[in-house]
Amino acid sequence: MIYFSEIKNKRVYTEDGLLIGTLDDAVFTLTETPQIVKIVVKPLKQISQEALYIPHQYLLRMSPTVAVSKNYETTILAENELFVFKNLVDKQIIDMSGQKVVRVNDVVIQQKNGNFFFIGGVDIGLVGILRRFGADKIIEKVSAFFGKGLTSTIIPWSNIQPLELTRGKVVLNIKQEKLQKLHPADLADYLEATNVRNIVKIIDLLDKEFAAKVIAELNLNYQISLLKKLAFEKTVKILSLIDPDEAVDILTQFSSKRREGVLKSLPRDRRSEIEHLLKLEDTVVGQYLTTEVLTVKSSDTAAKVIEVIRKETRDMSFLPYVYVVNGQNQLHGVLSLHDLLLQTVETPIYKFMIQNVIVIHLHTSLYSVFRKLIKYKLAALPVVDVNKKIIGMITMDDIGENFLSKI
């Protein structure tokens, strides 16, 4: 995730290193998931006075440097588009009842599904103000030294009424007392939860077979929270349509009562297939589980994590990933050692960890574990329990051995 103040006024280069100008603003669409569709570049003085609007298709990256492809084209502002800086930053936030809440100190931008950028929320905390002064890092360090963590406070985008923005107002859709203020590391979780709500809305409209296809593509966590929210008949229908393997993954997460209920309602041949697979799910994963995993906190800096690796992992046989957990040991993110080395030392982990973690459970079949490892090209998968708490991990080489012996 990126804070807008971190990229404001940064130099914008083409991929072959030609300086175009400085980043002045960004343009987003007024939707429930506001996407950054254009960046506004203030060109070098000697070239032009007019701001350049470059569509996101040409945007290569926003952080740590801003780059666009060399054959970029420019465009103009379209309808239903607003500016991040001009329309959001420093503006007054008022709640539903017209109470003033606070001002927008910064805007949080999240990178998702590759190279797409979305507005995640607005930063309303003191750290947001300090960041605009460029003093956030120092103050964070000082506060950490005194043992008091100082982090951003964020209002998620789903709490803001998009329509009011066009009238120049930042209005919340709830009362101030009910406002959820989030820590940046929790933002992704929150967004997923709100997205599930959106997906449920969409799925209800979709043709069932198509819905099944969509659901099969989702992350397991998503699938479970989604199917818990859908009506019983719809759940049965979807489970009978998706890959039995996936269905088993989901069913093992249901309560035994609901699982029995769903199984009874499934068509007979589908039911026997799934029941067979369910029998195989006898904690087979457990035999291959290694509890030798490294977990860190999302607010730790890259430097701290590197230091932990140096000190505490001497005896570990294999360290493919570092897992990020919160205070309750719930898995929040993951990072590879490569990701870690690319960062500057003082960057906190939550800024670059991958938040959409592919996980497995103790009941996941070995076949499905293997498939996931191949599909996502991973060296290991974390194993979590029903509460998302990390138990251990399964590595590629352990599973591979099992399959080798069967050939």
Partner 1 sequence: MQAFAAKYKRRLLIFLMVFGPGVIAAVADNDAAGVATYSLIASKFGYAMLFILLIVTVLLAVTQEMGARLAVVTGKGLADLIREHYGVKISAMIFLMLFIANMGSIIANFAGLTAAISLFGLPKAPFLLLAVLFMTIFVYKGSYRTNQNIFLGSAFFYIAYIAAAFLAKPQWETAVYNLVLPVGITFSREFIFSAIALLGTTITPWGQFFIQSFIVDKKLTTDKLKYEQAEVYFGAFLTDLLSFFMIVAIAGTLFIHSIPINGAAEAALAITPFAGQFASLLFSFGLINAGFMGAVVISLTTAYAFSEFFGHQGSLDSPISKSRSFYLLFLIQIIIACLVVLSPHISLFRIVLYTQGLNGVLLPVIIFFLLRFANSKNLMGSYTNNRFYNYFATISCVVITLASIFVIMGGILGKI
Q: Which is nearer to partner 1, 11 or 91 (CB)?
A: 91
Nearer to partner 1, 102 or 359 (CB): 102
The neighbouring-strand residues paired with 19 are 13
Stretch that binds partner 1, among 99-107, 138-146, 148-156, 219-227 (CB under 8 A): 99-107
Q: Among candidates 90, 98, 88, 107, which has minimal Cα distance to 172?
A: 98
Nearest approach, Cβ of 281 to partner 1 (angstroms)?
A: 54
State the maximum Cα–Cα separation within the chain, in Å, rounded to a whole number.
75
Distance CA 356, CA 273 (A): 30
Q: How far is the CB of 362 from partner 1 (least distance, A)?
A: 49
Query: Is the peptide bond between 64 and the residue preceding it cis, with omega within 30 degrees of 0?
Result: yes
Question: In the 8-state DSSP scheme, what is residue 91?
Answer: P
Query: Shortest distance, CB of residue 346 to partner 1, whole angstroms?
Result: 22
Figure out which of the listed residues 30, 60, 101, 358 binds partner 1, where binding follows CB under 8 A. 101
Residue 100: CB minimum distance to partner 1, A: 4
Does 180 sit near partner 1 (CB under 8 A)? no
**Closest distance between partner 1 and the C-beta of residue 93, in Å?**
6
Q: Does residue number 103 form part of the binding site for partner 1 (CB under 8 A)?
A: yes
- Looking at the Cβ atoms of 68 and 89, the one nearer to partner 1 is 89
Of residues 105 and 110, the one with the C-beta less far from partner 1: 105
Which of 30, 60, 129, 139: binder of partner 1 (CB under 8 A)? 129
What minimum distance in Å lies between the beta carbon of 92 and partner 1? 5
99 touches partner 1 (CB under 8 A): yes
What is the residue-wise DSSP string for 351-406?
GTSB-S---B-TTS-HHHHHHHHHHTT-SEEEEE-TTSBEEEEEEHHHHHHHHHHH
Is residue 162 a contact partner of residue 173, using CB atoms and an 8 Å limit? no
The residues, ordered by sequence, that sit 6+ positions from 380 with a Cβ below 8 Å of its Cβ are 318, 320, 321, 373, 393, 394, 395, 396
Measured CA distances, 275 to 228, 238, 260, 272 (Å):
20, 17, 10, 5
Contact between 90 and partner 1 by CB under 8 A: the answer reads yes
**Least distance (Å) from partner 1 to the CB of residue 103?**
3
Binder among 73, 133, 142, 312 for partner 1 (CB under 8 A): 133
What sign results for the dihedral spanned by CA atoms 252, 258, 260, 262?
Answer: negative
Q: Taking contact as CB under 8 A, which single stretch among the options 84-92, 157-165, 203-211, 288-296 is the one that binds partner 1?
A: 84-92
Instruction: Select from 132, 332, 361, 363 the one that contacts partner 1 (CB under 8 A).
Output: 132
Measured from the CB atom, the residue of 176 and 195 that comes closer to partner 1 is: 176
Does residue 92 bind partner 1 (CB under 8 A)?
yes
Pairwise CA distance, residues 45 & 13, whole Å: 15
At 109 the three-state DSSP class reads strand
Region near partner 1 per CB under 8 A, out of 76-84, 86-94, 220-228, 276-284: 86-94
Q: Does 233 bind partner 1 (CB under 8 A)?
A: no
Least separation in angstroms between CB 176 and partner 1: 8
Contact residue for partner 1 among 12, 93, 182, 188 (CB under 8 A): 93
Vertex 180: Cα angle to 177 and 181 (nearest 5)? 110
- Based on C-alpha coordinates, what's the Rg of the chain? 24
Shortest Cβ 90–partner 1 spacing (Å): 6
Contacts of 320 (CB under 8 A, 6+ apart): 336, 337, 378, 379, 380, 395
Rounded distance between C-alpha atoms, residue 188 and residue 1, angstroms:
10
Q: Using the rule CB under 8 A, is 91 a contact of partner 1?
A: yes
Q: Least Å distance between CB 73 and partner 1?
A: 31
**Shortest distance in whole angstroms from residue 236 CB to partner 1:** 49
Closest to partner 1 by CB, 91 or 112: 91
Count of residues that interact with partner 1, criterion CB under 8 A: 15
Distance of CA 401 to the CA centre of its chain: 33
Q: In the structure, how many helices (H) and strands (E) does the chain have? A: 17, 19
Q: DSSP secondary structure string, 25-78?
A: EEEEE-SSS-BEEEEEEEE-TTT-SSPEEEEGGGEEE-SSSEEE-TT---B---
Of 9-17, 93-101, 266-274, 340-348: span binding partner 1 (CB under 8 A): 93-101
Residues that bind partner 1 (CB under 8 A): 89-93, 99-105, 129, 132-133
